[in-house]
């Protein structure tokens, strides 16, 4: 009756979200005095999971599952949960995790709590804290079904190392043609770019930057910090930046350690989406901009003067602290 965690990998390597989900699931397993089993798909080396509390890995290796397929993955996760008699299944809230979690919930007739940010308040009844109203509130949710599905928010729990090794076992779920009725034709993904979902640092620009030609300094800052670039909604609506960079209530959520907002006013819809970032910095020439009320650190002034200077200083800092 172990806890089961889905550990996402890409090109055979585990994603940080997978290790975080494992760390978190270990906490639940401990609270329930049981062990932790992971299910991994086409991962090269599953031993890494042992460091984050996984006791056993059900390792699936299949060419048919090379591309993520929500239905097939959900079916495999269900079979793993049944094999392990798992009462709790944990997934991280990556795009793929959010895609398959509700399907897993249907397969297991399990209640599902998404955007969970902390270990259960209690495991019987099973109660978890999650965000609601796009980070404007928290919501304590009780899952009343026998099996529970928990979606762990990004960067909410962090990595937690434990002693021990993960025993790996090959696992062959029985998949049928019905699992493969949605097919991937092509994937379009920048290989060497940090994604907003996985970034430790996000550098974001708003309408205050006046036009797409001025994004060089934002990209430069992102480069120096190893950050992802983002933008406010009007910036993507005007086509200055791609939609995939739009963050906020109607765009992507940000939960990075550091969020740097340049020329962004801090409208309520923008702040809602980035509130989960741990530290927020704003650079804006209007001292009355609402962002100053939401930020930890602020610089009042012209971005076109401040950002190039800051970039030079960040470069020096990085050179010294490399």
Partner 1 sequence: MKILVCISHVPDTTSKINFTDGDSKFDTNGVQFVINPNDEFGLTRAMWFKEKQGASVDIINVGGPETEPTLRKALAIGADTAIRINTVPTDGFQVAKELAKVAGEGNYDLIICGRESIDYNGGMVPGILAGLLKANFVNTCIGLEIEGDKATAIREIDGGKETLTASLPLVIGGQKGIVEESDLKIPNMRGIMQARKKPLNVVEPSGAEAATKAVKFEKPAPKGEVKLVDPENLDQLIDLLHNEAKVI
Does 265 belong to an annotated binding site? yes
Does 274 belong to an annotated binding site? no
Which entry of ligand FAD, partner 1, none binds 214, CB below 5 to 8 A by partner kind? none
Rg (CA), the chain: 21
Distance (Å, whole) CA 6 – CA 72: 13
Does 249 interact with partner 1 (rule: CB under 8 A)?
yes
Q: How many residues sit close enough to partner 1 to count as binding (CB under 8 A)?
A: 95
3-state secondary structure 240-280: CCCHHHEECCCCECCCCCEEEEECCCCCHHHHHHHCCCCEE
Does 299 interact with ligand FAD (rule: CB under 6 A)?
no
Which entry of ligand FAD, partner 1, none binds 273, CB below 5 to 8 A by partner kind? ligand FAD
Which entry of partner 1, ligand FAD, none binds 290, CB below 5 to 8 A by partner kind? none
Distance (Å, whole) CA 91 – CA 73: 12
Distance (Å, whole) CA 164 – CA 167: 10
Does 268 interact with partner 1 (rule: CB under 8 A)?
yes
Does 87 interact with partner 1 (rule: CB under 8 A)?
no
Does 304 interact with ligand FAD (rule: CB under 6 A)?
yes
Residue numbers 46-85 binding partner 1 by CB under 8 A: 67-68, 70-71, 74
Count Cα atoms within 13 angstroms, Cβ side, for 199. 26
Residue numbers 189-248 binding partner 1 by CB under 8 A: 189-190, 193, 195-198, 200-201, 225, 233, 237, 243-244, 246
Question: Contact 221/215 with Cβ under 8 angstroms?
Answer: no
Closest by CA to 247, choosing from 284, 273, 219, is 273
Does 270 belong to an annotated binding site? yes
Rule CB under 6 A: choose which of 45, 172, 219, 302 binds ligand FAD: 302
Who contacts 164 (Cβ-Cβ below 8 Å, separation ≥6)? Answer: 50, 53, 55
Closest by CA to 94, choosing from 250, 232, 253, is 253
Residue 177 burial (10 A CB sphere; 0-12, 13-18, 19+): exposed
Residue numbers 17-46 binding partner 1 by CB under 8 A: none
Q: How far is the CB of 249 from ligand FAD (least distance, A)?
A: 4
Q: How far is the CB of 53 from partner 1 (least distance, A)?
A: 24
Distances (CA, A) of 205 to 129, 177, 295, 307: 32, 45, 15, 11
Which entry of ligand FAD, partner 1, none binds 217, CB below 5 to 8 A by partner kind? none
Does 214 interact with ligand FAD (rule: CB under 6 A)?
no
Q: Which is nearer to partner 1, 163 or 187 (CB)?
A: 187
Task: Report the alpha-carbon angle 297-300-304, nearest 5.
Answer: 110
Distance (Å, whole) CA 149 – CA 152: 10
Does 136 interact with partner 1 (rule: CB under 8 A)?
yes
Residue numbers 249-268 binding ligand FAD by CB under 6 A: 249-251, 263-265, 267
Kindly indicate which of the ranges 63-71, 77-85, 102-110, 248-256 contains the residues binding ligand FAD, using the contact rule CB under 6 A.
Answer: 248-256
Does 232 interact with ligand FAD (rule: CB under 6 A)?
yes
Which entry of partner 1, ligand FAD, none binds 304, CB below 5 to 8 A by partner kind? ligand FAD
Residues of this chain that bind ligand FAD (CB under 6 A): 206-208, 232-235, 248-251, 263-265, 267, 269-270, 273, 284-286, 289, 302-304
Residues flagged as binding site:
207, 263-270, 284
């Amino acid at each position: 009756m172990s806890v089961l965690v889905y550990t996402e990998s890409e090109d055979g390597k585990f994603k940080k979200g997978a290790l975080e989900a494992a760390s978190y699931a270990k906490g639940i397993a401990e609270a329930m005095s049981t062990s932790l089993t992971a299910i991994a798909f086409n991962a090269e080396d599953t031993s890494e999971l042992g460091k984050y509390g996984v006791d056993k890995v059900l390792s699936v290796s299949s060419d048919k599952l090379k591309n993520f397929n929500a239905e097939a993955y959900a079916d495999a996760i269900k079979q793993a949960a049944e094999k392990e008699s798992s009462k709790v299944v944990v997934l991280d809230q990556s795009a793929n995790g959010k895609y398959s979690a509700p399907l897993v919930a249907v397969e297991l007739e399990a209640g599902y709590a998404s955007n969970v940010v902390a270990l259960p308040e209690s495991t019987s009844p099973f109660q978890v804290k999650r965000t609601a109203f796009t980070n404007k509130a928290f919501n304590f949710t009780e899952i009343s079904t026998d099996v529970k599905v928990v979606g762990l928010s990004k960067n909410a729990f962090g990595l937690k190392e434990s002693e021990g090794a993960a025993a790996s076992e090959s696992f062959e779920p029985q998949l049928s043609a019905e699992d493969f009725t949605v097919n991937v034709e092509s994937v379009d993904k920048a290989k060497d770019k940090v994604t907003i979902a996985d970034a430790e640092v996000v550098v974001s620009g708003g309408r205050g930057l006046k036009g797409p030609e001025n994004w060089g300094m934002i990209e430069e800052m992102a480069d120096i910090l190893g950050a992802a670039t983002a933008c406010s909604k009007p910036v993507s609506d005007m086509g200055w930046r791609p939609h995939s960079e739009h963050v906020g209530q109607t765009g992507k959520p940000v939960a990075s350690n550091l969020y740097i907002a340049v020329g962004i006013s801090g409208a309520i819809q923008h702040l809602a989406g980035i509130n989960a970032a741990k530290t927020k910095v704003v650079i804006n020439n209007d001292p009355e901009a609402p962002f100053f009320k939401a930020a930890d650190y602020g610089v009042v002034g012209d971005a076109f003067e401040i950002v190039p200077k800051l970039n030079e200083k960040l470069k020096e800092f990085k050179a010294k602290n490399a």
